[in-house]
A and B are shown apart, each in its own frame.
Chain A
Amino acid sequence: MTSAIDIENLTVRYHGKAVLDDVNVSVPAGAICGLVGMNGAGKSTLFKSIMNAVPVASGKVRLEGHTVKTAQKNGIVAYVPQTESVDWNFPVSVRDVVMMGRYGFMNILRRPSENDQELVNEALARVHLIDFEDRQVGQLSGGQRKRVFVARALAQGATILLLDEPFAGVDAKTEASLVGLLKDLQKQGITTLVAAHDLATIGSYCDHIILLKQAVIAAGRTKDVFTQKNIARTYDSVFGVKEGVPWMR
């Protein structure tokens, strides 16, 4: 398999302190890859470096073989923000937000064409939000809120999705339906990198896992790398690993 995300020798420092230290990792195309690590492990920072949103000290990131800049110009990569970083009172509708996925392809006036409208309809249908297109975004449930931003990524034509802690504060049913959506998208060839610090379920739906603690502890197929030993090294101790979870061995 070719890789969707390729990261080589990536180091990021905040105020001189390394937050990501010589990260080398790749995510195969079409994977649902979990990015696992404690709070502060550098998951969000890794996303930011993939999105060119943080100055990197050294290293290089390639997305489907392109530089980040080219990938962004072509709309290949999209970031689904953490819930708390969005102002849900903003006077924008579901459709408005999804349309923002098309903005990169418009001129400075951002006037949607017929084609843009159609792509937005399609994206809304793929995440089952067609009936909610006129809702103000704050008037959606937690799961629907995530779907809006996934739809925006789809309208953009993104084939790499970055989801930062999408399951934080979301109930089990919502999580299951979001996972269902990610699996649908996987069948359509979309690569997903999903960050989580809660281990309870991530092993059950990710086919690949990256264990991160400033540096990569282990990365690869879930069944190969998601072991007690690796988890313990990622989390300093076995604290936080729930006993009796079926996928654990």
Chain B
Amino acid sequence: MDAIISPLQYDFMLKAIVVSSLVGVVCALLSCFLVLKRWSLMGDAVSHSVLPGVVLAYVAGLPYSIGAFIFGLGGVLGIGYIKQRVRLKDDAVIGIVYTTLFALGLVLVSKVPSNIDLMHILFGYVLGISDGDAWQVGLIAVAVTGLLITLRRSLLLYSFDQAHASAIRLNVNFYHYLLLALLALTVVASVQTVGIVLVVAMLITPGAIAHLLTDRFDRMLLIAASVSVFACIAGAYASYYFDVSTGGAMVLVLGIIFLLTFLFAPKYGVLKFKSH
């Protein structure tokens, strides 16, 4: 018990747990839509595209989140634009665009004099997050979570059956770009907790785990969020006690939970329990 309480007397630990849990929830909710919509690669795309934005924001003296958002969203909009105009398949276009933006970010980081720590952006640094950033991240996470929960049914219809959605005159384009914008915001909020490489896992794994555990969408959201928060907290403790990478520990916990689910999920695991 003491092992759980005592780290909490440190401000940085408390802050890390609160911030990463909030980020964990929003990533998890979004992951449900991404997994169902087969948009997992989009998480990859947005997160890697963010890098040049972070550097340029620093140069311009703006909050990193603004630069990150512009590039994250710009990346996926660019992908959409190119996709409609060439005969290449989605995955090729996605791969080209985000690796190019990521490479631009790397080049900028190495040339622009700044105190940006590349490792922190790539892999997160939640234990060292500043108060200002913590507030920024928290606000984004709460806002996106609120929107996802309020609009979940409309977003679900959009994901499940676009033909019907447009037949009943639901604004399909609006939901398409809304989802992309929320994805970009979520990635922005995640840069400091798990970093832009590992956020990809946070944007896929919780939804995938939950999809193996339930046939109800609302329950899927709940399971994904719980699993993700658990992983975030476990990761923070692991990093406190064993001095390992926080983001790494969080994602590793998620991976282990996925493996267990994959094996033991009652209905959809490989070692099915014959309960039905």
Contact = CB atoms under 8 A, between A and B. Distances in A.
Contact of B164 (A90, A91, A100, A110): A100
A112 to B, nearest CB: 9
Interface string A72-101: 110101110100011101111100110010
A136 interface: yes
Given A81-B163, A136-B215, A92 B169 contact: no
Given A86-B161, A92-B156, A108 B168 contact: no
A110 B216 contact: no
Interface residues of B, number: 24
B154 interface: yes
Contacts of A172: none
B131 to A, nearest CB: 35
A72 B159 CA distance: 20
B167 A78 contact: yes
A97 B156 CA distance: 11
A103 interface: yes
A91 B153 contact: no
Most buried by A among B157, B166, B214, B215: B215
B114 interface: no
A110 B157 contact: yes
Given A72-B168, A110-B154, A91 B163 contact: no
A104 B170 contact: yes
B161 A93 contact: no
Given A91-B214, A103-B170, A51 B157 contact: no
B14 interface: no
A203 B65 CA distance: 63
A125 to B, nearest CB: 21
Contact of B216 (A73, A93, A156): A93
Interface string B95-124: 000000000000000000000000000000
Q: How large is the interface on A (under 10, 10 to 19, 20 to 34, 35 or more residues)?
A: 20 to 34
Given A72-B168, A79-B167, A100 B215 contact: no
B210 to A, nearest CB: 9
A108 B156 CA distance: 12
A197 interface: no
Interface string B36-74: 100000000000000000000000000000000000000
A73 B169 contact: yes
Interface in A96-126: 96-97, 100, 103-104, 108-111
Nearest to B153: A110
A156 B163 contact: no
B220 A91 contact: yes
The 6 residue pairs across chains A and B that have the minimum distance between CB atoms: A104-B168, A110-B153, A136-B215, A91-B217, A91-B215, A91-B220
Interface of A: 51-53, 69, 72-73, 75, 77-79, 81, 85-87, 89-93, 96-97, 100, 103-104, 108-111, 136, 152, 156
